[in-house]
A and B are shown apart, each in its own frame.
Chain A
C-alpha cells in the first residue's frame, strides 16, 4: 500500500487570460489527470505540452473544457468522458473515447484500436487511419447518438456488434481506386449505420450494403463539413466520392440461434 503522497511537485504551469499551459513531460498519468481535473474548469483553453503516453486524459471530466494535447496521449483517451472537447495535435493510441458519454475528440493524426468502443454520445473525428474493432458496440437511444468519423481507413471488425450511432469512414488516405481492406465490417451489427466512402472489401453476414438516399446525404453533410473544417479539406471534393451505407438486416441477428 502506498504511503500518503507528499505534496505533488508543482507542474510547469502558466495561466494568462484564461489560457493555461502545462508541461506534461515526466508526469505520471495520475498526476497529470488530477492536475487537468482540478484546472480545466475555470480555464478557457488548456494546452498540455509534451504529452507522452499518459493514459485516461479526459476521463472523469464533466465540464465544457477545451483541451489541446501536443504529443501522443496514451490509451483510453477520453474514456467515460462527459463534456469536454479534446484536440490531439499528434497521433492517439488505443481506446479513444472508450464508453464516452458526451463531448468531442479531434485527432490530427492516426488512432489505434477500438476507437469509440461502446460510445454513448459525443463526437470523435480522426484525420487519418485507425486500427481494429473501431466503433465496436456503439450505442444510441433517442437523441443520444454518438458520431465517429475516420478520415482514412480502418482495420477488421469495424463497427462490430454496433447497436446505434453513426460511423463514417472516408478513405482519404487510400490511393485512387484502392478499396478499404477491413474484413468482417459490421459483424453482429444490430443498430446504427456505417457510411463508407470507397469500396468495402468484406462485411459480416449481418449487414447489407445500400445506396445513399436523400436523408443519408442530409445527415452526412454537416458531419463532413465539421470534419473538413478541422482538417482544412474541401467539403465538396470529399462528398463527391462514392459513398455506401451499411445497415443491419435485422435488429435481432441472433434470434434464430436458440431452440
Chain B
C-alpha cells in the first residue's frame, strides 16, 4: 500500500558548508542521512527524520537545519496536520498509535498561571548568600505527636518514628525503567542522586546488580508485571514504590515494546527476548484498597519495616478519595503523576486524553488529607510537568513534600523531547537498550550534567524562598498564601485553594 503520510520534517543541508564528513550519516539511527558516492554528496530521506537534532548538534560545520515540513494541508483548525496524519497512519496500519514522552497539548499546564510571592518593606526577605537556607526534608509518615520522657536528666524520645528518606533537595528522579532507558542512564541517575543526596527511582524493570551499590539513594519500584522484583532487589533500595498508575497512561499497564527487550533486559525482567514487556493494567493482587494494604505490608514484611513504602498513582478524577484510601492502607509516601507525565511508550490517545493536571490533583489531595487529619501520615511527591525550579517551589507551596523529575533529567542528559522513545532507537543513547547506541551517553558526563541541573535548581529555589522571607523548605510546604493565580476562573482558584493575583 502506498503511504499517504507526508514527511513531518525536512532536512536542509547547506551544500557549501557540508564537508562530506558523514558524521550525520553515522549518528542518525533512523537512517535519514546517506552518502551518495557517485555525486559525492550527502543526501537525506526526510520521511525517516524524527527531529531529534542529533545531526544538528554533531555537524562540525553547522550545515544542517531541520524544519517542520512547510507543505501544509489547507488550513483547518479542526483537521490539523496532526489529526490528518494520525488518521492516515491508522488507515494504513490498523493499529494503536504509540508515542513517547508526556502530553504535548498546550492547555493542561497551570504552573504558568500561578505566581509566587516576595517580601517588600513589611517583612524582610532573606539573603541566601548570607543566611543558611534549608532545603533538606524527610519523606515518610510523621507521628501525630512526640512523646518524650525524662531519663537521667535528659529527654528520651519514646515515640517510634517511621522510616524516613532524607532528601537534601526536594527533587527526586522519577521512575525511568531499565529497558526504557539505557544502563548508562540508570547509572548516571543513581550516581547523581547519590552525589546530590536525593533518590533515583528504578521504574518497573528492576535494577542491574552493578547498581546495587547506590542502593541508599534508590527507590525500587514494584509494578504489576513484577519485572526484576527479587528479594535482593527489594532489599537493595532505600524505599519501595508500588506503581499503580502513571500520568502518561492512567488505567493501562506498562509497555516496553519488543524492540527494546534485548538479552540484558530479558535477563533482568525474566521474559523472552523480543517480547513486549506488558504489565497488566491492574496489579492482579490488588483489586481494592484492602488489597493494596496487603501488598504494602507484604513489602514491609519483606524489608523488616525498615523502609518507607510509596504508592504511585496517576492523577485521575477522584484522586483525593483514592489518596485517602492509600494513606489509610499504610502508604508512607504517595506519588501523584499528572496528565503531563512522560513515558517511554504509551498509546497517544491515552497520553493526551486521560488524567488530571498535577496542580489540580495535588491541591485537592493535600486539602483532602488535611481535612481528614491524616496529612502527616504520608508525604506527597508530585510528578508530571515540572520544567524548572519555579514549578518545584509552586508545587511545594501547593502542598507537595517533593517532586519527581523525569523529562527534565533526560533533557539534562541530552534528550530533545522528540517523542520517539518507543522506537528504541534514541539517537542520543538515552531511550534505548541498544548497547552500541547507548554508549553515546557517557555516565561520567551525564552524572555531571544531572548534578549541575540539581545544583542550579536548588540555588534558584533558595533565591525564591529568600525572596518570600522563608528559610526552610518545610515552611513553604502547603503555604498557599505564597501563591496567587492569573487568568483562572473562580472554580479553578477554588480547587487550587489560592487567591486571584491582586488580592
Residues of A within 8 A of B (CB): 1-5, 29-30, 33, 37, 55-56, 59-60, 62, 75-76, 79-82, 94-95, 98-99, 101, 114, 117-118, 120, 133, 136-137, 139-142, 144, 160-161, 163-164, 188, 190-191, 251-259
A160 and B280 alpha carbons, distance in the complex (Å):
10
A66 and B422 alpha carbons, distance in the complex (Å):
46
Cβ of B98 within 8 Å of any chain A Cβ, yes or no, is yes
Evaluate contact between B147 and A258: CB separation under 8 angstroms: no
Cβ of B65 within 8 Å of any chain A Cβ, yes or no, is no
The SS class assigned to the B binding surface is: loop
On whether A76 and B294 interact (CB within 8 A), knowing A101-B230, A252-B276, A255-B276, the answer reads: yes
Evaluate contact between A1 and B162: CB separation under 8 angstroms: yes
Nearest residue (CB) in B for A188 is: B278
Q: Collect the chain A residues with CB atoms within 8 Å of residue B226's CB.
A: 99, 117-118, 137, 139
Cβ of B160 within 8 Å of any chain A Cβ, yes or no, is yes
Nearest residue (CB) in A for B97 is: A259
Question: Could you show 24 A-B contacts with beta carbons less than 8 Å apart?
Answer: A1-B161, A3-B158, A4-B159, A37-B304, A59-B302, A60-B302, A60-B304, A79-B298, A80-B298, A80-B302, A81-B231, A95-B285, A98-B285, A118-B226, A139-B269, A144-B270, A164-B271, A251-B273, A251-B274, A254-B278, A257-B95, A257-B96, A259-B93, A259-B98
- Within B259-283, the residues touching A (CB, 8 Å) are 266-267, 269-276, 278, 280
A176 and B280 alpha carbons, distance in the complex (Å):
36
- Within B94-115, the residues touching A (CB, 8 Å) are 94-98
On whether A252 and B258 interact (CB within 8 A), knowing A3-B147, A259-B93, the answer reads: yes
Residues of B within 8 A of A (CB): 89-90, 92-98, 141-144, 147, 158-162, 224-226, 229-231, 234, 257-258, 266-267, 269-276, 278, 280, 284-285, 294, 297-298, 301-304
A4 and B149 alpha carbons, distance in the complex (Å):
13
Please tell me which one of the listed residues A98, A163, A191, A258 contacts residue B95 in the complex, with CB atoms under 8 A apart. A258
A191 and B278 alpha carbons, distance in the complex (Å):
13
Q: Collect the chain B residues with CB atoms within 8 Å of residue A80's CB.
A: 229, 231, 234, 298, 302
Q: Collect the chain B residues with CB atoms within 8 Å of residue A118's CB.
A: 225-226, 229
Q: Collect the chain A residues with CB atoms within 8 Å of residue B278's CB.
A: 161, 188, 254
Q: Collect the chain A residues with CB atoms within 8 Å of residue B257's CB.
A: 258
Nearest residue (CB) in B for A59 is: B301
A59 to chain B, nearest CB (A): 4
Evaluate contact between B301 and A258: CB separation under 8 angstroms: no
Q: Collect the chain B residues with CB atoms within 8 Å of residue A81's CB.
A: 231
Evaluate contact between A163 and B270: CB separation under 8 angstroms: yes
Q: Collect the chain B residues with CB atoms within 8 Å of residue A56's CB.
A: 297-298, 301
On whether A2 and B160 interact (CB within 8 A), knowing A94-B285, A164-B272, A254-B276, the answer reads: yes
Please tell me which one of the listed residues A117, A140, A188, A190 contacts residue B270 in the complex, with CB atoms under 8 A apart. A140
A95 and B280 alpha carbons, distance in the complex (Å):
17
A55 and B294 alpha carbons, distance in the complex (Å):
9
Q: Collect the chain A residues with CB atoms within 8 Å of residue B144's CB.
A: 1
Evaluate contact between A251 and B298: CB separation under 8 angstroms: no
A30 and B234 alpha carbons, distance in the complex (Å):
18
A52 and B68 alpha carbons, distance in the complex (Å):
67
A178 and B220 alpha carbons, distance in the complex (Å):
46
A259 and B159 alpha carbons, distance in the complex (Å):
57
On whether A190 and B298 interact (CB within 8 A), knowing A120-B270, A258-B96, the answer reads: no
Q: Collect the chain B residues with CB atoms within 8 Å of residue A144's CB.
A: 270
A142 and B97 alpha carbons, distance in the complex (Å):
34
On whether A4 and B276 interact (CB within 8 A), knowing A59-B302, A164-B270, A258-B95, the answer reads: no
Q: Collect the chain A residues with CB atoms within 8 Å of residue B267's CB.
A: 141-142
Evaluate contact between B96 and A259: CB separation under 8 angstroms: yes
Q: Collect the chain A residues with CB atoms within 8 Å of residue B258's CB.
A: 252, 255
On whether A75 and B294 interact (CB within 8 A), knowing A59-B301, A80-B231, A259-B89, the answer reads: yes
Evaluate contact between A139 and B271: CB separation under 8 angstroms: yes
Evaluate contact between B90 and A259: CB separation under 8 angstroms: yes
Q: Collect the chain A residues with CB atoms within 8 Å of residue B266's CB.
A: 141
B336 to chain A, nearest CB (A): 23
On whether A82 and B231 interact (CB within 8 A), knowing A60-B302, A98-B285, A139-B271, the answer reads: yes
A120 and B32 alpha carbons, distance in the complex (Å):
42
Query: Which of B160, B298, B301 has the most A CB atoms < 10 Å from its CB?
Result: B301
A125 to chain B, nearest CB (A): 21
A30 and B92 alpha carbons, distance in the complex (Å):
57
Q: Collect the chain B residues with CB atoms within 8 Å of residue A253's CB.
A: 276
A136 and B147 alpha carbons, distance in the complex (Å):
47
Nearest residue (CB) in B for A254 is: B276
A139 and B144 alpha carbons, distance in the complex (Å):
43
A254 and B280 alpha carbons, distance in the complex (Å):
12
A59 and B231 alpha carbons, distance in the complex (Å):
9
A252 and B257 alpha carbons, distance in the complex (Å):
9
Q: Collect the chain B residues with CB atoms within 8 Å of residue A191's CB.
A: 271-272, 275
Nearest residue (CB) in B for A95 is: B285
Nearest residue (CB) in B for A144 is: B270
Evaluate contact between A190 and B97: CB separation under 8 angstroms: no
Q: Collect the chain A residues with CB atoms within 8 Å of residue B97's CB.
A: 258-259
Evaluate contact between A161 and B280: CB separation under 8 angstroms: yes
Q: Collect the chain B residues with CB atoms within 8 Å of residue A3's CB.
A: 147, 158-160
The 7 residue pairs across chains A and B that have the minimum distance between CB atoms: A118-B226, A1-B143, A139-B270, A259-B95, A259-B93, A251-B272, A163-B271
Apart from A33-B301, A55-B298, A139-B226, 15 more pairs, CB < 8 Å: A76-B298, A79-B298, A82-B230, A120-B229, A133-B284, A139-B270, A141-B270, A160-B284, A161-B225, A163-B271, A190-B275, A191-B272, A191-B275, A251-B273, A252-B276
Q: Collect the chain B residues with CB atoms within 8 Å of residue A37's CB.
A: 304
Evaluate contact between A4 and B160: CB separation under 8 angstroms: yes
Nearest residue (CB) in B for A75 is: B294
A186 to chain B, nearest CB (A): 14
Query: Which of B90, B230, B231 has the most A CB atoms < 10 Å from its CB?
Result: B231
On whether A117 and B298 interact (CB within 8 A), knowing A188-B278, A191-B275, A252-B276, the answer reads: no
Query: Which of B162, B270, B272, B301 has the most A CB atoms < 10 Å from its CB?
Result: B270
B206 to chain A, nearest CB (A): 11
A60 and B270 alpha carbons, distance in the complex (Å):
21
B422 to chain A, nearest CB (A): 8
Please tell me which one of the listed residues A75, A99, A160, A190 contacts residue B229 in the complex, with CB atoms under 8 A apart. A99
On whether A1 and B160 interact (CB within 8 A), knowing A94-B285, A141-B270, A252-B258, the answer reads: yes
B4 to chain A, nearest CB (A): 14
Evaluate contact between B301 and A30: CB separation under 8 angstroms: yes
A176 and B423 alpha carbons, distance in the complex (Å):
52
Q: Collect the chain A residues with CB atoms within 8 Å of residue B303's CB.
A: 60
Q: Collect the chain B residues with CB atoms within 8 Å of residue A101's CB.
A: 230-231
